[in-house]
């Protein structure tokens, strides 16, 4: 049974239960009211006849008519000697004590009241069979109305079920179009839930295949590039003795660039696996210098006054490749968007701070600087050109930090240091508390 039918049946069951409960309560209430009304009628008639018996009217010329006051209503008076009038007392009334009584007989529903009156006893009987028949007729009306309500409820429930299941069916159809089953063997599932789960399973399979291909590509790329990089670094190191001392800084930058490329490949491999490498002791001051040295070839690097204020021999437990990736992206952001400015790196209480006094980031843009391709209002400035690579560096830094269990945040540089009139401060907290 599919989901739409199950929802319909559940709603119909609720409607049926409600209608049945209301019908039964209405029927029982009517039965009780009918019995109470008849009892009151018989009691009132008995009291009226008892008053007339006290006056002696029952023995007068109209006494026989008074014992038949209405349809289905009859009365008898039994004196102290046992004589009954206007006719012998029926046997089913003879043993009754004083008070109201209800007697069920074949084709009769009798309501009886026995009262002492004028030296004898007065018996008043009412046959409520016609009233009971009307009550039963009302019950049939209730059953017919309940059936009508049930049919109407079924139609409405089917429509409501269509509204409820409709989004699931549309989602299933869209997923099925995106990831068709490819004509696999087996009967198609008739249940919406099964079809939706099957479509999700196929979509998940496609995602897993895409992720596997991406990881394979990264692994192949790392394998193909790692060997040439190693050879290039070896050649550069062998050239160092023969290089003019004036050109050695350029050679060191080339070596740093090779190391940065190797680190980027390692970081990409870690990102593709969505896990961080086991932490190891890292000389933080040297790591900061290496990250900055790898960016010396950037055109705007000379316009950034860089200062590494991390105390020498400061050691942190971290993945060095991940730390280099984050620092390079933060330094690159300062070079490209803050220069000309000064940039200071500090370490305190388990957190690395990278602060600059450049033009800063608008407060309304701060919550979005780590979003991929977010460039804030840079495109609104004169001369700004769209650049597909912008907006990726900080996003990569945040992703690497998250994968390693670190926290990377941003705030105005003046928030903690009054010496910065403007600018931006990035805080990388390495502890996992």
Percent of the chain with pLDDT over 90: 33
Element (H, E) at 86: none
Question: Is position 127 within any domain?
Answer: yes
What is the pLDDT at residue 275? 53
Contact status, residue 176 vs residue 199, Cβ threshold 8 Å: yes
Question: Is position 323 within any domain?
Answer: yes
Q: How confident is the model at residue 152 (pLDDT cuts 50, 70, 90)?
A: very high
User: What sign for the dihedral angle of Cα 20, 23, 29, 30?
Assistant: negative
| pLDDT tens, position by position, 25-36 | 999 999 999 999
Q: How confident is the model at residue 192 (pLDDT cuts 50, 70, 90)?
A: low
Residues 6+ apart with CB under 8 A from 251: 236, 239, 240, 243
Three-state secondary structure call for residue 77:
strand
Average pLDDT over residues 321-342: 90
Q: Of 45-49, 111-115, 229-233, 417-421, which range is least confident?
A: 229-233
Domain C-terminal end among 100, 122, 151: 151
Number of domains comprising the chain: 2
Contact status, residue 380 vs residue 298, Cβ threshold 8 Å: no
What is the pLDDT at residue 99? 92
Question: Is position 250 within any domain?
Answer: no
Q: How confident is the model at residue 267 (pLDDT cuts 50, 70, 90)?
A: low
* Size of the chain, expressed as the number of residues it contains: 433
Q: How confident is the model at residue 271 (pLDDT cuts 50, 70, 90)?
A: low
Question: Is position 125 within any domain?
Answer: yes
| CATH, residue 125 | 3.30.450
What is the pLDDT at residue 242? 79
| pLDDT tens, position by position, 13-24 | 999 999 999 999
What is the pLDDT at residue 376? 58
Percent of the chain with pLDDT over 70: 88
Residue ranges making up the domain that contains 66: 3-151
Domain C-terminal end among 117, 151, 185: 151
Whether 282 and 147 share a structural domain: no
What is the pLDDT at residue 187? 45
Average pLDDT over residues 343-350: 93
Residue 149 pLDDT > 80, yes or no? yes
Contact status, residue 276 vs residue 319, Cβ threshold 8 Å: yes
Residue 378 pLDDT > 70, yes or no? no
Average pLDDT over residues 366-386: 61
Select, from the ranges 254-263, 308-317, 387-396, the one with the highest average predicted confidence (pLDDT). 308-317
| pLDDT tens, position by position, 64-86 | 788 887 788 999 999 888 888 88
Higher-confidence residue of 240 and 54: namely 54
Domain C-terminal end among 151, 186, 214: 151
Per-chain mean pLDDT for the chain: 83
What is the pLDDT at residue 410? 94
Q: How confident is the model at residue 191 (pLDDT cuts 50, 70, 90)?
A: low
Residue 151 pLDDT > 90, yes or no? yes
Question: Is position 103 within any domain?
Answer: yes
Strand order through the sheet with 424-429 = 304-308, 341-348, 351-356, 424-429, 407-412
Question: Is position 339 within any domain?
Answer: yes
Average pLDDT over residues 237-251: 80
Contact status, residue 293 vs residue 252, Cβ threshold 8 Å: yes
Question: Is position 329 within any domain?
Answer: yes
Question: Is position 424 within any domain?
Answer: yes
What is the pLDDT at residue 250? 78
Contact status, residue 196 vs residue 169, Cβ threshold 8 Å: no
């Amino acid at each position: 049974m599919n989901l739409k039918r199950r929802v319909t049946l559940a709603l119909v069951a609720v409607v049926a239960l409600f209608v049945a409960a209301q019908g039964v309560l209405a029927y029982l209430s009517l039965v009780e009211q009918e019995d109470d009304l008849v009892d009151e009628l018989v009691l009132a008639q008995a009291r009226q006849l008892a008053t007339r018996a006290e006056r002696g009217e029952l023995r007068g010329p109209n006494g026989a008519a008074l014992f038949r006051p209405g349809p289905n209503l009859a009365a008898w008076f039994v004196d102290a000697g046992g004589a009954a009038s206007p006719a012998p007392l029926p046997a089913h009334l003879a043993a009754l004590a004083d008070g109201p009584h209800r007697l069920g007989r074949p084709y009769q529903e009798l309501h009886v009241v026995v009262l002492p009156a004028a030296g004898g006893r007065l018996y008043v009987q009412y046959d409520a069979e016609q009233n009971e028949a009307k009550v039963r007729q009302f019950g049939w009306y209730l059953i017919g109305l309940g059936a009508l309500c049930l049919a109407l409820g079924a139609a409405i429930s089917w429509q409501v079920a269509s509204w409820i299941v409709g989004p699931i069916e549309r989602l299933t159809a869209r997923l099925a179009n995106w990831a068709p089953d490819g004509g696999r063997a087996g009967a198609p599932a008739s249940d919406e839930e099964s079809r939706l789960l099957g479509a999700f399973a196929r979509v998940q399979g496609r995602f897993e295949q895409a992720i596997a291909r991406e990881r394979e590509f990264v692994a192949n790329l790392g394998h193909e590039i790692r060997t040439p990089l190693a050879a290039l670094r070896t050649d550069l190191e062998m050239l160092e003795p023969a290089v003019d001392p004036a050109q050695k800084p350029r050679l060191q930058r080339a070596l740093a660039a090779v190391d940065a490329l190797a680190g980027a490949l390692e970081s990409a491999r870690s990102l593709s696996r969505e896990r961080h490498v086991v932490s190891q002791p890292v000389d933080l001051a040297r790591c900061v210098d290496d990250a900055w040295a790898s960016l010396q070839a950037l055109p705007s690097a000379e316009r950034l006054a860089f200062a590494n204020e991390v105390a020498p021999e400061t050691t942190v437990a971290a993945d060095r490749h991940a730390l280099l990736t984050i620092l390079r992206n933060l330094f690159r952001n300062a070079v490209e968007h803050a220069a000309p400015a000064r940039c200071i790196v500090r370490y305190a209480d388990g957190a690395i701070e990278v602060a600059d006094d450049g033009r800063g980031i608008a407060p309304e843009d701060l919550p979005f600087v780590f979003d991929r391709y977010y460039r804030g209002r840079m495109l609104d400035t004169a001369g700004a050109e769209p650049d597909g690579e912008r907006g990726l560096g900080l996003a990569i830094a945040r992703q690497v930090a998250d994968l390693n269990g670190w926290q990377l945040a941003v705030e105005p540089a003046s928030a903690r240091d009054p010496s910065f009139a403007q600018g931006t401060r990035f805080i990388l907290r390495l502890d996992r508390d």
